[in-house]
Structure formats: structure tokens, C-alpha cells
Chain A
Amino acid sequence: MPNKKNYTNGLPDPSELKEEILKKYPRKVAKKRAKAMIVNDPSEGQEIMANVRTIPGIITQRGCTYAGCKGVVLGPTRDIINITHGPIGCGFYSWLTRRNQTKPAEGEDNYMPYAFSTDMQDENIVFGGEQKLKTAIREAFEIFKPSAISIFSTCPVGLIGDDVHAVAREMKAELGINIFGFSCEGYRGVSQSAGHHIANNGIFKHVVGNTDRERTGKFQVNLMGEYNIGGDAFEIERIFEECGITLLSTYSGNSTVESFAYSHTADLNMVMCHRSINYIAEMMEEKYGVPWIKVNFIGAESTAKSLRKLADYFGDDELKAKVEEVIEREMAKVKKVAEEVKPKVEGKLAMMFVGGSRAHHYQDLFKELGIRTVSAGYEFAHRDDYEGREVIPNIKIDADTRNIEDLEVTKDEEHFRDDLVTKKAKLEKEGYTFKDYQGMMPEMSKNALVVDDVNHWETEKLIEFYKPDIFCAGIKEKYVVQKYGVPLKQLHSYDYGGPYAAFGGAVNFYKEMERMLATNIWKLVDAPWKHEPEIVGSISIEA
């Protein structure tokens, strides 16, 4: 285990580290990577290069468009049959690997344990796979009688000219259920982020607004960009329920297509993972007038802040009182554990390279324990997730982004919520902020190194320089980092643990950090004989 540096007087300037990393790259690559590595200065509006193509041959954390569309966004929705149209690999690899939990009611459908694939063969590539796809859809319908089926295109599908959208329309007419397709071939876009966008478009176009539902609660909201890894959504749902907030739909942890269909009847959208879901929030506001706010339920303080913001939106005194009561009670439990754990872990150093929001959100949790984030970055985020939404108009639209359809959304006169527009205007006047994602960088310390789409070589140098106590990333990085003697916490799947969201989640996370940071295993790495000379003994020469 490397010795730790003393950072009591602030983080060291990592400019030299950056230079050293870049030295290894060919000139062009170095130029590109230089822009993706920023020595943070929160007092300045710095620009980072993000959402650009990964350099071939460099081991990336990133996945593909299909993974973002099928695996991330639609994966956690239980009442839709997701058919992967393509050869077997993609469907198999996205079969129940994300640890999204779901809780169907008694007798309710749950297709998440299934991986449907058209398992395309040679002849389908040569002669086309549309017939096989139709048969697969009919079979899935025949067996399960689902209310919805969706089709996910893998790489060869676009190339051989299979029209999944036409097949979807035809099958929809034939079977009388909602069927729609996604052109989410793996090569589109620069990362899974493109897949999120495509999924957002598809759900909005084919599902949102399909059914209306009578109001069931006084405060109706949707939670967006929360995927119920390790049961996070359950913990958030518990809090909402107690506060008297009606959660119509979550995009997409513990979700149903049925709930997406009436989610436009909410009074407010709360956005957690801005990167993966802001598109639907934006479109819902344009079409139905439902405003959105940025929230974060990772970290106890952040949860309290988000709940208060929610209560302020509705402005209801009873709700505000209830929210305060819940916060007070829950925080008492959280503080008790924090007080036990904090002295043991305070001052430790963390690094996190994950997702499009988690690398930001988890800094809050670490802060609560006095653990400092020395370096962080996203895997597939865009500039706005680093610098804040105000940079959106200045983001250069490249060819990869242009490939993704930008849905034209028009006002739905019948369902449009003029009352919410008025409410929003009034609140804004009072200083309440909507769509207010400030990004990761303004909240990070001076001299923290922000790195987008980090790769193996950079990881190696970062560990060498900072000697972190804990590294947060995913399964692909886990054993690399641990071979350096640094424990890695998986923030995609939470390893085996969770939930880490909201108050109960914070308690779990504190205990997890205590366990991980206090482990004695690393002391065993060096065998006792390692530092001894190989040959011991004395030689006496006798005359």
C-alpha cells in the first residue's frame, strides 16, 4: 500500500503529472487529451473536452450505444419485453448484469429475468433478419402476452438494412399492443450516452402520454435518472411515501412502461442523473409544461436539500413540516453512524471515474465523512455535466451528435399545464431555480484533477501521484486498481452492496467505507521474508 501524502494545505498542483501523462502520447493524441484533463479552479469557468470519440486502441471504460439504450435506460423496466435484434453476444452480455432491482406486485409481469434475442445467423445477415424478428415478436407475444415489446438494433442490423421501425409498426397493427424499435446500433455516437438519448426519444415518442390517469395524490412527481441499483429507488420511495409525495414514475429504476405512459400527469420532474435522462425532462416541459429541477439523493445532506427543494416547490406548509420531521428523524440516525465512522476515515483520499453523474454525486457522500476527492471524471458525460447547463448553447455539435434524432416536440394543447408554467414563473421570481445543474467542476476543490474518459495509462499515473485510499469505478477497473494495492469500490453495480441512496443508503455507505478503508488485507501483500536478505548467516574464516 503506497504511503499517503499530506494534503492538509490543499491539493497539490498536478500540472506536472498532466505533462508526464501527455508526454507518452503521440502529438495529436496529446493535444486531444490535454483538453480532457483539467486542473480544476472553481473560481474560473474552465472548459473541458468531453463526449468526443475515444482514441482507438486505448483501453476505455466506455460502452456502446446499444448498452446505453437497452442496458441502462430500458433494462430496469419490468413490464416490457426487450428483444435484442442481432447475433447472440449483445443480448447475452446485457442479461441481468446491472443489479437493477425491481418489485412487481403480486401477479404483475416481470420480464427482466429474460434475455430475448433473434440470435442472427449467417443466413439472416445475408438475406435479412426481418422475418426472424417478426417471428420472435410473435413468439414473445404468444408466450407472455405483454403490453409492450421493444426492439433493440445491434451493429449489423443497420448495415444489412433491416427496418426495425417498419417491423414494429406492422407487428403493432397485427398484435394490437405497443411495439416500437430503437436504432441503437453500437457504432452510433461516441459512447453509451448516445444510447441514452435514443432511448429517451423512443420512450417519449411511443409511450409518454399514452394514458391519462386521475390524480391520486396532492403532490405528484416523477423521479428521473434513478436506476435502482442495489435498491436505491426503494429507499427513496420509502422517504417519499412517508412525506406524502406521490411518485408516479421513476425513469427507470423499479419502473413499468405503464407508469411512463401517464407520467406526463406529474406536477414536477426531479432529475437525478442529468446525463442519461435530461432529454425526457426537457421534452416533457415543452409538450406538457411540467417543469424540472435537479436533485441528488446520494448523500444524507444532499437528500435533505433535495427534499426541501421539493417541498418548497409545492409550498405546502403541511408538506414542509412533514419533510422537516422526516429529515430530523433520519438525520439523527445518520449522524450517529457518521460520528462513529468519520474519525476513522477523515482525511483519506478518494478518486472516482464513473458514469455521467455518479462521479459527482458520490463526492457529497465522501464529503460527509471528511474524505477528499482528489481526482474525478465521467465515463460518458458531456460538457454540461462538468461545467453546468449554461454552457449548452456553446457546445459544438459534431457529426456524432447530429446522427441522433432531435425530436420535434410541440405543445399538447389538451394536456398542457398552464398552471405549472405560472407557478414556475412565480417561483423563479422568488429565486427558486429550475433546470439548475451546475455540473461537477464548480463543486470540486482547487487543483483537483478532472479527467474525462480516463484510460488505463492515466489511471496508473494518477494512482502513482495521488496514492489514493479508495478508487471508485466499475468492474472492468476493479482488479486493475486493486493490483496496485488500492481498494476499488464499484459505483456502477455497488459490488455486492447497497442501497446507498438517501438516508438509509448513506448509513450503508459509511459502514462500507469503514470496512474497506480499515481492512488489514493489504498488509499481507508483502511476505515477511521479502525484506530480509536472501542469504543469512555468518562466515568465520579460521586460520
Chain B
Amino acid sequence: MKILLIDDDNALRELYVAELTSRHYEVVEAVDGEEGIVKAQKEKPDVILLDIMMPKLDGIATLTRLKQELTTKDIPVVMLTNFGQENMVQQAFSSGATDFLIKYKVTPAEMADKVAQVVK
């Protein structure tokens, strides 16, 4: 099972990678939306964890492009946000997100539980 983690926060990525690999997921990392799209096409992950606030291409724009591409449109995407703003989440859902996580509210274990739920 392969997971693509797109987030510009190095520290958080390290933490999530540690948790996910301890559950025997293969994790591919990207630091911004552009790199994320390239890796999504190349690596064909089973789930994408996508941060909303990022440089170059933000999460919503990245999600929109992932959902337009034939090769990536069927990969479930879980949005990561630190805001939990209603409009952002709504926008993400209407752009095709499968689920979302508010980063500061969940522990790495809860994040991994959510991933398990989505890939099931």
C-alpha cells in the first residue's frame, strides 16, 4: 500500500512518515503541489494526503488538477488542514476530496487510522 504525503512542513512530514512506515505503508513525500502532482502521476499511490496551505501550488489547486488528470483522478485524497475553515473544507469536498483531517486535532495514530479507513 503506497501513500503520497504532500506537505511543506518538514517536521510534520517526518512524524507522519514515521507513523505510516511503522504500519508498513510505503510513503512517498512531496514538499509542494507541483512536486505532488508529478509524484502522483509517477508513483500511482493508493491514497494522497494533501496539505491545503502550501507554496507554489496550494492544496485546493493541486486537488483540482489531480482530479482533472486521467491517471490520478481516481486516487482518494485526504486533505490536511490546520484551519478547519468551513469554506475550505467545503471547497475541497466539491473539488473531489474524499475526507479531511484537522492536523492539530489528530495524533499521528488517528491520522493513520483515517488512512486505513480510506484504503479499505
Asked if A and B bind, the verdict is: no
Mark A residues whose CB is within 8 Å of B: none
